[in-house]
Amino acid sequence: MPSKVSTPTSTEPDDQRARILASALDVLRTQGASALTVRAVAKGAGCSTTGVYTWFGGKQGLVEAIFVDGFHGFDAALVAGFASGDDLVAASSYRDWALANPTQYLVMFGGAVPGFEPSDEAKAVADVAFGHLVEWVAERRGLAGAEARHEAMRVWATVHGYVMLELAQMAEPLEGIDPEAQFVYGVAGLWPDPSPMAAR
């Protein structure tokens, strides 16, 4: 009904789907999870609510797309951080991504959308990111097998814990100590050795 009456012929078949997803991410970023309504997303994408059902099957499917999209970007940020060869830079890449996409991070990890449960397919995307972390920890510390996974889980849980507390605004009781300093302290404790690069 608006101006876009022209070119219903889609030279780009994913045009509408991509617009809806972009609109959803925009709503999430600018107005928070509570404003993520099908109507608001559709309005931002220039279509009616039906479009969300055509391309995503409903709000659940839309949230799942947000989840998957988030893990792709998140994983890319992690891999880029790993490439730096510096433990603190890698951990900070994690934190920086989460702080730059806080609501999306909460959708991915915190259950910010009450009814949402990721499908096995979506969880597989998340596992890719964790797999990269395991690989990195294994190479970095010369570990393998169960020990590498244990250690990767420890790194993940610690970094995730700091980030979640910061996003929940629970990192503030420590007056005078900003969250970044807290984070750096905690990450440093993950690798007690001053220079843990002897591996490999």
Contacting residues toward DNA, per CB under 7 A? 1, 6, 8-11, 13, 16, 35-40, 42, 46-51, 53-55, 58-60
The encoded tokens of residue 194 equal 């001053």
| Window of 7-15, 39-47, 85-93, 170-178 that interacts with a copy of itself by CB under 8 A | 170-178
- In the numeric block, which tokens belong to residue 104? 């999306």
Structure tokens at 138: 């294994």
Structure tokens at 159: 């970094």
Answer with the entry of a copy of itself, DNA, none that 67 interacts with (C-beta below 5 to 8 A by kind).
none
Min dist CB 156 to a copy of itself, Å, is: 7
Give φ, ψ of 138 to 5 degrees.
Answer: -60, -45
Residues 56 and 45: beta-carbon distance below 8 Å: no
Of the candidate residues 1, 5, 146, 198, the single one contacting a copy of itself (CB under 8 A)? 146
* 54 touches, from DNA, a copy of itself, none (C-beta below 5 to 8 Å by class): DNA
CB of 123 to DNA, least distance (A): 20
Q: Which residues of 47-79 are buried (b: 16+ CB within 10 A; e: fewer)?
A: beeebbeebbeebeebbbbbbbbbbeebbebbb
CB burial of 160-193 (b: ≥16 within 10 Å; e: otherwise) equals eebbbebbeeebeeeeeeebeeebbeebeebbee
CB of 183 to DNA, least distance (A): 33
Is there binding between residue 46 and a copy of itself (CB under 8 A)?
no
Select 18 or 100, whichever has its Cβ closest to DNA. Answer: 18
**Position 150 contacts a copy of itself (CB under 8 A):** yes
Residue 51: φ, ψ to 5°: -55, -40
Cα–chain center distance at 30: 16
Task: List interacting residues with a copy of itself (CB under 8 A).
Answer: 32-34, 36, 106, 109-115, 123, 126-127, 130-131, 146, 149-150, 153-154, 156-162, 164-165, 168-171, 173-174, 176-177, 181-182, 185-186, 189, 192
